[in-house]
Amino acid sequence: MSGTLFLVQVLNGLQLGVLLFLIAAGLTLVFGVMDFINLAHGVQYMLGAYLAVAFYGVVGNFLAALILALLAALAFGLLLEFLIFRHLYERDHLDQVIATFGIILFLNHAVRVIWGAAPLTLPVPDFFTGTVVLMDGQLYPVWRLVIIASGLVVAASLYGLVSFTRIGMLVRAGATNARMVSALGVNIERLFMIVFGFGTMLAGFAGIMIAPIISVEPGMGDNILILAFVVIVIGGIGSIRGAFLAALLIGLVDTLGRSFSIDILRLMMGPSPARMAGPAIASMLIYVLMAIVLYVRPAGLFPTRGR
């Protein structure tokens, strides 16, 4: 295990972590403030990527495509909230799970109809197509560093928004006791709409930023949604700080585990058993981590008050 390879995988883990945070931040606010389980949140991640590809094909400029895709993702999220989700807020969690799972199936099929089943690609902006030199001459893509930096900037901005603004105060109060906030005269429906729309835009932003690296295809948000739920369980429902730290932790554990589990097991067993057991153990690490955290702190690392 070389130091350069370890540094590369740490950066890859941070990249995964900030993407998970962008998705989990909106999800934990929706769950924390609205007590609403939205399985379709991962679809917004997928739609952000598809919308960026579509707008890039029209305008031919990445920044313009990013802005247009964010606005479109926000508008689509608000439309879903108005037409469907707000009618589910008073229903039990099972109804919410079934309804939002149906939305996943519908939207995954819709993107197949509109864009086809073949994977699409979004080019990296020309200014960020290069690489930087790490230790021992190892090259690392600039765009991956841009993703990390963008996620950290968004995290800092979101923390400031939630911690030091009036809307943030209402969000934090809603995450603690939404009924009391409503009883104090706050328009809770408008607060819910703002939270939901902001959450969908963050998920769409994550999809846009990762689109130049991975294939844009139907169902791409399903697997990452599972990781996002693990993030909010570990971090604490409704906690932005918890979501950020848990996302980075999961990103590092998952990436480093998949990269070095075989090498570590070779220290304790033969090469063949290590190759067989390594991938299986690596795929379970984040769930083992979640079980340990829940055993020690059942409400997560940084639960909101009142939970």
Q: Write down the pLDDT at residue 51.
A: 92
C-alpha to C-alpha distance for 241 and 122, rounded to whole angstroms: 31
Residue 41 in tokens: 């949140």
95-99, 111-115, 194-198, 209-213: the lowest-pLDDT one: 194-198
Q: Write down the pLDDT at residue 177.
A: 66
120 beta partners = 216
Q: Write down the pLDDT at residue 268.
A: 74
Q: Is the pLDDT of residue 306 over 60?
A: no
How far, rounded to the nearest angstrom, does the alpha carbon of residue 199 sit from its chain's CA centroid?
Answer: 10
Question: Could you identify the residue written with the tokens 């009391």?
Answer: 180
The answer to whether position 301 is within a domain reads: no
* Amino acid symbol at 132: V
Can you say whether the dihedral through the CA atoms of 97, 100, 102, 105 is positive or negative? negative
* Amino acid symbol at 252: L
DSSP letter for 304, please: P
Q: What percent of the chain has pLDDT over 90?
A: 11
Alpha carbons within 13 A on the beta-carbon side of 181: 22
Which alpha helices (H) appear in the chain, and where do they start and end? 3-34, 41-59, 62-83, 93-115, 142-164, 166-183, 188-210, 220-235, 240-265, 271-296
Looking at per-residue pLDDT, the higher value among 2 and 167 belongs to 167
Q: Is the pLDDT of residue 211 over 80?
A: yes
Give the domain extent around 18.
Answer: 3-296
Burial class for 168, CB neighbours closer than 10 Å (0-12, 13-18, 19+):
middle
The answer to whether position 292 is within a domain reads: yes
Q: Is the pLDDT of residue 247 over 80?
A: yes
Span 287-305, pLDDT tens digits? 888 889 888 888 888 876 5
Contact (Cβ atoms closer than 8 angstroms) between residue 162 and residue 240: yes
The answer to whether position 304 is within a domain reads: no
DSSP letter for 50, please: H
The answer to whether position 164 is within a domain reads: yes
C-alpha to C-alpha distance for 115 and 10, rounded to whole angstroms: 35
CATH number at residue 65: 1.10.3470
Span 108-162, pLDDT tens digits? 899 999 998 888 888 888 888 888 887 777 788 888 999 999 989 988 888 888 7
Phi, psi of 298 (to 5 degrees): -60, -25
Q: Write down the pLDDT at residue 176.
A: 65
Q: 192: helix, coil or strand? A: helix
CA distances from 212 to 53, 106, 206 (A): 9, 25, 11
Alpha carbons within 13 A on the beta-carbon side of 80: 25
Length of the chain: 307
Q: Write down the pLDDT at residue 29.
A: 77
Can you say whether the dihedral through the CA atoms of 243, 287, 104, 255 is positive or negative? positive
The number of distinct structural domains making up the chain is 1
C-alpha to C-alpha distance for 185 and 126, rounded to whole angstroms: 50
Q: What is the pTM of this model?
A: 0.87
C-alpha to C-alpha distance for 13 and 255, rounded to whole angstroms: 5
C-alpha to C-alpha distance for 158 and 206, rounded to whole angstroms: 14
Burial class for 81, CB neighbours closer than 10 Å (0-12, 13-18, 19+):
buried
